[in-house]
Amino acid sequence: MKTTVEPLEGNKVRLSIEVDESEFEPALDAAFKRIAQEIRLPGFRPGKAPRKLLEARLGKGMAREEAIREAVPSYYTEAVVTNEVDVIAPPEIDITSGEDDGPVVFDAVVEVRPTVEVAGYQSLKVELPSPVVSSDEVDEQIDRMRGQYADLVTVDRPAADGDFVKLDIDGSRDGEPIEGLSVSAYSFEVGLGAVVPEIDENLRGASAGDHLEFSGDDHHHEPDELDDGHEPHGPIDFVVDVVEVQEKVLPELTDEWVAEASELTTVDELRDDMRERLTRSRAAQAQMALRDKTAGALAQLVTIDPPEPMVSAEMQQRIQDLAMRLQAQGLQLEQYLAMTGQPQEQFVEGLRDMAHEAVLIDLALRAVAAAEDLDATDDELDIELAEVAERVGETPEKVRSEFERSGQLPDVRSDLRKRKALEWLIERVEITDPEGNPIDRADLESPDEDDDVLGLDDLIGGLEDFDADETGLDDEADETDADDPDSEGATDQ
């Protein structure tokens, strides 16, 4: 098979592919065998009629048309893999010769991943919250712990956030009582927004004996208390009588209380333990934020609009991933949107924004890897394949064989190069806190070596789905099959 690749305008290439008659012959023979299964000839069982007899009766035209239709996709795929053409969309195929006889020649015009320049990537700057835990933050966490052991004491003053208000409440919609929302002597903590925000707004400043009437929109929150078996719709009318206002009285912070409430014995030990926990958590969050913000800052350096096929494919993959996670919880996407009160248009727009940035990150990291000559070694590839094999429950040999069969080992190498590019950037990016003060990288290191932080695959997709056909042909079917979208080709080739 002979192939030439010609660049075209609009970020496309033309692959001109010629398959000689000897190479095309097995496809033609397979076509005759399929036809033999469908046509009955006297004296022959289905599928047993010889090819020469079929040619004499039917001619070669039907079989040749069948063979071209079945074989051209595999010829195209082979040409894409052999010539390392980084396609991002289904091809437009035009048979130019060989429909009747002779070599089969066809052109495939396909959009490819663009290469971009990211001027200024060597001097990225990101802003992170300070990872240093202050004494006030330690005290705040200890106070939260003390709050779990607090006593409620009745007070003669208006309610404020943090107080518990004992109330009688009746809720109705369109004049009909809502089951579960007619409660007497209900203890409600002000400021949590536990039902609808209007309740908190009206209880702030209310005193014992007050009678309140107001309405609230329940599409923001739909807790079990408001579940009347229907989808959220219309405002709820509330009638509330304030019975009592209570404030939380925290236990005194003493060594005796610490010993009673925890496995520690002194206040100093509790402070040290709380500081270590907060430091560990803050460091892990900072590392994740550093990766995310570094990638985001890099994406802003890309000056082209991302190709629509890549954005659409990324959106499809994100929808599929969300649908699978929801399905594991017994939910449908429509239910998720209703529960979050998020209009479908807003959801789609947010999804598009995330996909847009993910594609820019992909393109930019490839540019950095190329500019800095970052590549993946064979040992690194072996380690990655072993990790993928462990995640999917297969042997490394079988995973490698599958990637080789589908021609996707270069995709894995590419993903490793992007990871290296991200790590290269993270090592050099300038980090400051919101006040502009430099952040010491040592403060971003977690005390626990086993802390997991998000890597590149959490930003632009993992490797588990590399078994999908990313040559572009199968995407054509994906466009009409919303239940089985495959978009990994958009960002992980």
Contacts of 77 (CB under 8 A, 6+ apart): 407, 469, 471, 473
Q: Domains in the chain and their CATH numbers?
A: 2-111 (3.30.70.1050), 151-249 (3.10.50.40), 283-490 (1.10.3120.10)
Virtual CA dihedral for 171, 177, 181, 186, nearest 10 degrees? 70
Which pTM value belongs to this model?
0.70
pLDDT of residue 251: 95
Mean pLDDT per block of 10 residues along the chain (493 residues) reads: 94 96 88 70 56 59 84 93 92 93 94 94 94 93 92 95 93 85 90 87 95 78 42 77 95 95 95 94 91 96 94 93 91 87 89 95 96 94 93 92 84 93 96 92 69 40 34 36 36 42
Which amino acid does the sequence have at 400?
A: R
Q: How many CA atoms lie within 13 A of 253 on its CB side?
A: 14
pLDDT of residue 472: 36
Q: What number of other Cβ atoms are within 10 A of residue 31's Cβ? A: 22
CA pair distance 223, 234, nearest whole angstrom: 15
CA pair distance 493, 386, nearest whole angstrom: 19
CA pair distance 42, 57, nearest whole angstrom: 12
Burial, 325: exposed, middle or buried (Cβ in 10 Å; 0-12, 13-18, 19+)?
exposed
pLDDT of residue 420: 96
Would you say 236 and 218 are in contact if contact means Cβ atoms under 8 Å apart? yes
pLDDT of residue 492: 43
Give the tokens for residue 276.
Answer: 């270590």
pLDDT of residue 58: 63
